[in-house]
DNA sequence: AACGAGGTTATCATAAACGACAACATGGAG
DNA sequence: CTCCATGTTGTCGTTTATGATAACCTCGTT
């Protein structure tokens, strides 16, 4: 019983699988955010100013303590000098 | 004074430009949603069931009468058989 | 050790998303 | 025209994102 099998067994539970997938998506999202800010070379505070909000809110976003709206994501991206596209791909 | 110039002049107003960009983003988003549902060959009601919600909410989403959260977009995509990626590209 | 920059956390108020349900619109099939 | 499937709109209650502010943590620098 190694880790791989433990993981496999856990993920065979639909409930667990659903939560895992949500985490996956959330991580991907957060990484995109961090990546954009890094490429822009901005601190949370600088980004916050450009988004007309405060740095604590940026932190919340990047910590995954919230479920950002599309508008918020677009604002974040714009503040970092990016446009955003939603790209669906076959599961 | 043709349409092109009128548009150009209007968009030179930062305020107007910002609103225009928001519309652009919203249209792109909605088109992605409609496209995914079309490819999945689902009615709003079928999609709603898969998302554990009601068809009126799907309509609201697709009419742009709301600012969907990332989680909602992901649920929508999954229900259509897609994964979602957020792809930033230089403005 | 003291300071400051960058990030985190807590809390509050307000606006908005979301789910549910009902009523209505629309357009195609018979 | 009548049905029916599909989509739209209105409204209500609940949950949650968002903005604001303040306090706190963590390092690196001096």
CATH number of the structural domain spanning residue B47: 1.10.260.40
The total number of structural domains in chain B stands at 1
Query: Given pLDDT bands bounded at 50, 70 and 90, which one contains residue B71?
Result: very high
pLDDT tens-digit readout, B4-37: 444 444 554 555 555 555 667 778 999 999 999 9
* Containing structural domain, residue A58: 36-86
Which chain B positions have a beta carbon within 8 Å of A68's beta carbon? 69-70
CB atoms within 10 A of CB B70: 20
Query: Given pLDDT bands bounded at 50, 70 and 90, which one contains residue A91?
Result: confident
A56 found inside a domain? yes
Q: Which nucleotide is nearest to B42 (CA to C1')?
A: D6
Q: How far apart are CA A52 and CA B27, in angstroms?
A: 24
In Å, what is the separation between the CA of A37 and the C1' of D30? 29
Which chain B positions have a beta carbon within 8 Å of A83's beta carbon? 88-91
B5 found inside a domain? no
User: Measured from the CB, is A59 under 7 Å from any atom of strand C?
Assistant: yes
pLDDT tens-digit readout, A72-90: 999 999 999 999 999 999 8
pLDDT tens-digit readout, A16-61: 555 566 667 788 999 999 999 999 999 999 999 999 999 999 999 9
B43 found inside a domain? yes
Which is more confident, A69 or A18? A69
B70 found inside a domain? yes
3-state DSSP helix/strand/coil percent for chain B, to nearest 5?
A: 70, 10, 20
The reply to whether residue A91 touches residue B68, judged by beta carbons under 8 angstroms, is no
| Residue A80 · residue A39 · CB < 8 Å | yes
B67 found inside a domain? yes
């Amino acid at each position: 019983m190694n880790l791989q099998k433990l993981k496999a067994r856990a993920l065979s539970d639909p409930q667990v699988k659903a939560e895992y997938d949500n985490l996956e998506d959330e991580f991907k999202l957060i990484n995109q955010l961090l990546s954009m800010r890094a490429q822009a070379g901005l601190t949370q505070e600088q980004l916050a100013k450009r988004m007309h909000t405060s740095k604590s809110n940026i932190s919340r976003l990047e910590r995954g303590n919230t479920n950002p709206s599309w508008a918020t994501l677009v604002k974040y991206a714009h503040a970092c000098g990016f446009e955003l596209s939603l790209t669906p791909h076959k599961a």
